A and B are shown apart, each in its own frame.
Chain A
Amino acid sequence: DAKTTQPPSMDCAEGRAANLPCNHSTISGNEYVYWYRQIHSQGPQYIIHGLKNNETNEMASLIITEDRKSSTLILPHATLRDTAVYYCIVRHKAAGNKLTFGGGTRVLVKP
């Protein structure tokens, strides 16, 4: 699976949009971009995934660049409960569902 690069940490203000970048410059055409988050001492939580089109659900929006070499996860109105480590993962459709977690971005939402 393609490797991803994320900033190790970022702060954002409560109530504002949080934009989390992810670089995956070696992504191939049949690899998906997945986002999970892990709140302290809990299991990871699925957020969203996409292939090439932008995606939106009740939790977040995923914006994938046209060349698919990077993406941005957008939390539209960050709350204190969004404080977590966010993982961007690229996974091949036929990879047997294996997820390879990188370092992630530690997001701290401040009041």
Chain B
Amino acid sequence: GAVVSQHPSWVICKSGTSVKIECRSLDFQATTMFWYRQFPKQSLMLMATSNEGSKATYEQGVEKDKFLINHASLTLSTLTVTSAHPEDSSFYICSASAGTGKNEQYFGPGTRLTVT
């Protein structure tokens, strides 16, 4: 149980285009989803927290107009990187929590974004 998927697993896009990444909880309802970014040889950095049906809460320094997050259902959250630039190339990882008391987060496999 507690499986989280991401799609796509990797994507290459041209500078200036937008890319959408999907995060799905496959066997549980995720009241809260999180988006992280990880640069090579670095740790995960939390970008934003989203609760189903409400606006995402962004961490300091993360541009909300550039990284659009939608959490429209209890099993799906999307991250759209708008007007991507090479410096946005990174490993994007989502996690989901059922919020049922144990509060464990279950992570997706990650999406490798390369902007050329």
| B49 neighbours in A (Cβ, 8 Å) | 96-98
Q: Which of A17-25, A67-75, A100-108 faces chain B?
A: A100-108
Q: B108: which of A41, A43, A46 is its contact (CB, 8 Å)?
A: A43
With A42-B110, A44-B44, A44-B93 in contact, is A99–B32 under 8 Å at CB? no
Binary flags per residue of A24-45, CB closer than 8 Å to B gives 1, else 0: 0000000000001010011111
- Do B106 and A97 have beta carbons less than 8 Å apart? no
Per a CB cutoff under 8 Å, which of B34, B95, B99, B109 touches A42?
A: B109
Summed over the interface, the residue pairs from A and B with CB atoms below 8 Å come to a total of 52
Chain B: interface residue total (CB-CB under 8 A): 24
B contact patch SS:
strand
Please tell me if B78 contacts chain A, counting CB pairs below 8 Å: no
- Chain A residues closer than 8 Å to B112, beta-carbon distance: 41
**Interfacial residues, chain B to chain A (CB-CB below 8 A):** 4, 6, 32, 34, 36, 43-46, 49, 91, 93, 95, 97, 99, 103-110, 112
7 pairs, CB–CB < 8 Å, chain A vs chain B: A43-B108, A43-B110, A45-B107, A46-B106, A97-B32, A97-B105, A101-B44
